[in-house]
Amino acid sequence: MPSQRGAKKQRVSDTDADYAAARPSLKSGQHEYVSLLGLRSFDTAALMKRLEEGVSFAAFERLKRSLKVSSRELADVALITQRTLARRKRAGRLDPDESDRLVRVSRVFARSIELFEGDLESARSWLMRPVFALGGAVPFEMVKTEVGAREVENLITRLEHGVFS
């Protein structure tokens, strides 16, 4: 058996690999961030239909693993109470409004991954710590609202273009 001394073993999750694999083949305007939820169709019409039906509870679990957060943390940012989350787990599906908020979280996470050029650990770290340009707010917490999510996305765009705030 070869020696592992000094070698750092890095494990890539299925979610990380799926997202990375989906990105190169996508055309502009498609919703590749939904691959973080395990969804395979990236066009707007399919995404709208899926949201109307509600995404599966497995999508919640998948995003939780990818973000490396607890169920409570993801539920809090998606504005889902613990009792409701337990009911959704039993039912196997989230409601449309909960699904929409979960997609919002995946969209911002995907933008942070792009900001850090595919470095998921750096993207996760950036999302979870206070950011001066956001008035000291934590980007992950700001995603609770659409306004907050847009502000985080606007900051990411400014950073990508070298406009430091």
* Confidence label for 38 from pLDDT (cuts 50, 70 and 90): confident
Q: How far apart are CA 91 and CA 56, in angstroms?
A: 9
Write down the pLDDT at residue 119.
Answer: 93
Q: Report the percentage of the chain scoring pLDDT > 70.
A: 80
Res 69: pLDDT: 97
- b/e sequence 36-73, b meaning 16+ C-beta within 10 Å: bbbbeebeeeebeebbeebbbbebbbbbbebbebeeee
User: How far is residue 116's CA from residue 109's CA, in Å, rounded to a whole number?
Assistant: 11
- The pLDDT of residue 29 is 45
* Residue 49 tokens, joined: 């239909």
Q: What is the mean pLDDT of the chain?
A: 84
Structure token digits, residue 36: 């973080």
How far is the C-alpha of 39 from the C-alpha of 137, rounded, in Å?
Answer: 30
Which pair of structure tokens corresponds to residue 25?
């083949």
Distance CA 155, CA 132 (A): 11
What percentage of the chain has pLDDT greater than the value 90? Answer: 66
Enumerate the β-bridge partners of residue 137.
131
C-alpha 116/C-alpha 101 separation (Å) is: 23
The values of phi and psi at residue 75, to 5°, are: -60, -40
Report how far residue 34's alpha carbon sits from residue 69's, in angstroms, rounded to the nearest whole number.
18
pLDDT tens-digit profile of 85-140? 999 999 999 999 999 999 999 999 999 999 999 999 999 999 999 999 999 999 99
Q: How much is the pTM?
A: 0.79
Quick: pLDDT tens for 47-71: 889 999 999 999 999 999 999 999 9
